[in-house]
Amino acid sequence: MNHIAIFASGTGSNAKKIIEHFQSNPSIKVSLLVSNKATAPVLEMAQSFGIDQHVIDRHSFYETEEILTVFEKYEIDFIVLAGFLWLIPTYLVESFTKRMVNIHPALLPKFGGKGMYGKYVHRAVKEAGEKESGITIHFVNENYDEGDIIFQASCDISPEDSPEEIGKKVLQLEHRFFATVIENILVSQN
C-alpha cells in the first residue's frame, strides 16, 4: 500500500480531487493532510473524508524533523504539494527524493520561483501577452519550481482573458490531470 501525505494551505480543491480519485484504489491511499494554516478550509474538507490532519508551524517544520516522525506513524511514502506555499526544507527533500511532487499553475520554467503562485502567476502570464498557459507537475527539490518536470499540459488563452479567466482554465487542467499523474508515478515506482 502506498500512503500519500498531501500538503495544502488553502481551500484544497486539488486535494479534494486527489482524495476522491484514490478513495476506492486498493493500493494507493491518502493517509494524511498537512497544512501550515490551522484555519485552512482544506482541513475541514479532509476531515469530511475521514482523513487525519496535521498542522505544522514554521519552527517545527524548519528547525526540527518532527514531521518525519509523524510520517512514520502514517507510513507515508509519497508527498503531494497541492497549493502549499512554503519552501520544503532540505531534510525532507532528501528523505523523499523522487517521492515528492508539486503542481505549478504555469508552464515552467516560465513564471516560476518565489512569490509566483495563484493569481500572481496568472497576472504575470497576462502581462507577458502569452498565448498559452497551463500546468507543470514536477518533482520537488530545495528550490521553488526547479525540480525535474514530470508532466505539462497547456491551454490556449486569448488577449481578452482576465487573470481570473486564465486561472479558471488552468485549474481545469489541474483537476483533470494531477491525480492521474500521481497514480502513474506510483505505479511506475512499484
pLDDT in tens, 35-68: 999 999 999 999 999 999 999 999 999 999 999 9
Kindly report, residue by residue over 134-165, the tens digit of the pLDDT: 999 999 999 999 999 999 999 999 999 999 99
Q: What is the mean pLDDT of residues 108-114?
A: 95
Helical packing angle, 13-22 and 41-48, nearest 10°: 20
The verdict on pTM exceeding 0.85 is: yes
Kindly report, residue by residue over 21-33, the tens digit of the pLDDT: 999 999 999 999 9
Q: Give the cell for residue 24.
A: 476506492
Q: Is 137 helix (H, G, I), strand (E, B) or coil?
A: strand
Q: Which of 3, 54, 59, 104 is catalytic?
A: 104
Whole domain around residue 119: which residue ranges?
2-189
Structure confidence at residue 57 (pLDDT): 96
As a whole number of angstroms, the distance between CA 117 and CA 148 comes to: 18
- Residue with the three cell numbers 498565448: 131
Structure confidence at residue 4 (pLDDT): 98
Domain count, the chain: 1
175 is catalytic: no
CB-based contact 176:15 (threshold 8 Å)? no
Average pLDDT across the chain, whole number: 96
Helical packing angle, 163-189 and 13-22, nearest 10°: 30
As a whole number of angstroms, the distance between CA 62 and CA 32 comes to: 19
Share of the chain above pLDDT 70, in %: 100
pLDDT over 90 (residue 20): yes
User: CATH number, domain at 18?
Assistant: 3.40.50.170
pLDDT over 90 (residue 190): no
H/E element holding 31?
strand 28-35
Radius of gyration, CA atoms only, the chain: 16
Kindly report, residue by residue over 173-186, the tens digit of the pLDDT: 999 999 999 999 99
